[in-house]
Each structure stands twice: as structure tokens, then as C-alpha cells.
Amino acid sequence: MEGYLTLLQDAVKAYSPNIIGAVIIGVLGWVLVKGLVGVTERVLNRSNVDQTLIGFLSHLTYIAGMVFVAISALGKLGVNTGSFAAVVAAAGLAIGFALQGSLANFAAGIMLILFRPFKSGDYVEAGGVSGSVEEIQMFATTIRTPDNKQVIVGNAAITGGSITNYSAKPTRRVDLVFGIGYDDDLKRAKSVIEEIIAKDSRILEDPAPTVAVLELGESSVNFAVRPWVRTEDYWDVYFDLNEKVKLTFDAEGISIPFPQQDVHMINAA
């Protein structure tokens, strides 16, 4: 029994400096990593970086720092950290191959947060979906469609195609086409449309609205009507103008012809 106690005392004497050194490395390393995370968060906050990205980078910095501290502490204990690092690298490579799609979405999420092509609340067309952006996450973006469906789109699908942000600018142009019959008074019809536009306070004076003959169609003379409005008024003005023009044309006796064709019957005899 005394022999075992002697061996234990010798082992403690031999390894105690390494154990104490490993503990010191662990404690000091943890303190330094926490300090580095704090500095990282302060720098990113001063740079007005998105909070989602700040949280992720802070978490990533903490994990990477603690892994380095753990490897250093194990090295102090005499563990072969070279092989340990190789195992960690191999595991990371295998995980990377297994999560290629997720990593692509993650990288795309960072791009969306950094470059900000849109923000929450914007109405966009991206990734094959149109709707209002509800939330931008690291791997996917949540979009609410006009009929109140929630669609979760992978960020890689969004950055891999074109992005149309209808809310990015303060004003938008409403594009409408109204047709009248060839027998109707063209100047009177144009004047009616201009009067309707002038009475709508939501339509901007600058840029000035456009009312012009677009084409002489097969069945109608078509007007291009292009008023400018605030972005938030777009759909209200769009629907109201269609209704007001139809009602006013009816009251003024101006026809809105439907497509028609003349068919000539030939007697084979």
C-alpha cells in the first residue's frame, strides 16, 4: 500500500506543474476570449452592423477562441495536440461536405445582412416569391405573401437570382392603359383622364403625370397613363384610377371597346 502511495505522490509531484499550468491557461484563456468577444461586439456596434450578424460573429469568436484555449491546455498536459488538431480539421471538413447546402444559405445570409438589398417590412420579389419581408435569418428569409401565406426561402435562392425591392424608393410610377373607341373624341377622353388625375391629391405633381396616346390598336385607341405616387399609396391609386376612369367614361359616353373581329362569310357556290 505504501508503494502505491509513493507512486501517487511521485506522479502528483511530476505532473502538478503541468496541471497547474493547464488550469492557468484555461482560466486566463477564458478571460481573454471573453474580452475579445466584448471588443468585437463594441466595434461591430459602432459600425452599425446588423444585430443578427453581431450575435453570430460574437458566438463564432467565442467558440474559436475556446477551442484554441482547450488545445493549448491539453498541450500543457502532454497530450499530442497535433493529432487532435488533425481530427478536428477532418471532422470540420466532413461536416462541411455534409452541410454544403446549409453553408451556402449561411454565406448568402451574411451577404444579405451586410449588403442589405432589403429589410424587414419591404415588399420584394426574390427567390421566386413575392411578398413582404418578415424576418431575415442566417439561413433563410421569411416572406409573407399578399394572401397571408408564410413562405420560408433559403437565402442562397435569393442571392442566386435577381431581387426586386418595390419598397426601396419613396415614390413609384403607376402604369395603366385605357382604350377608347375609334369613333370617340380623343381629346375629350384625354382631358377626362387628366381631370381625374388632377383631383387625386395622392398623385404627385413632380414628376408630372403622363397621359399620351400609346398606340392605335386593332380595336381601340390606347392611352398610356403614368402618374407618380408615394410607394405606400401605389395600390390604392392603382385600383381607384381604374374605377374612376370607367365610371367617368360611362358618364361622358366614352366607350371602352372590347377586342372584336369582322368575319366575312363567302358563299362557296
pLDDT, average across residues 95-106: 64
The closest of 5, 103, 142, 113 to 51, measured between CA atoms, is 113
In this structure, the strands spanning 164-165 and 123-126 are antiparallel
Q: Is the pTM higher than 0.85? A: no
Q: What does the mean pLDDT of the chain come to?
A: 83
Best mean pLDDT range from 58-67, 107-116, 197-206, 252-261: 197-206
Q: What percent of the chain has pLDDT over 70?
A: 78
**pLDDT of 51-64, one tens digit each?**
666 766 777 788 87
pLDDT recorded at residue 81:
62
Q: Are 242 and 176 in contact (CB under 8 A)?
A: yes
The distance in angstroms from the start CA to the end CA of the chain is: 130
**pLDDT of 145-158, one tens digit each?**
999 999 999 999 99
Instruction: Grade residue 265 by pLDDT with cuts at 50, 70 and 90.
Output: confident
Please report the domains of the chain, with CATH numbers, ordered by start residue.
2-98 (1.10.287.1260), 117-165 (2.30.30.60), 171-252 (3.30.70.100)
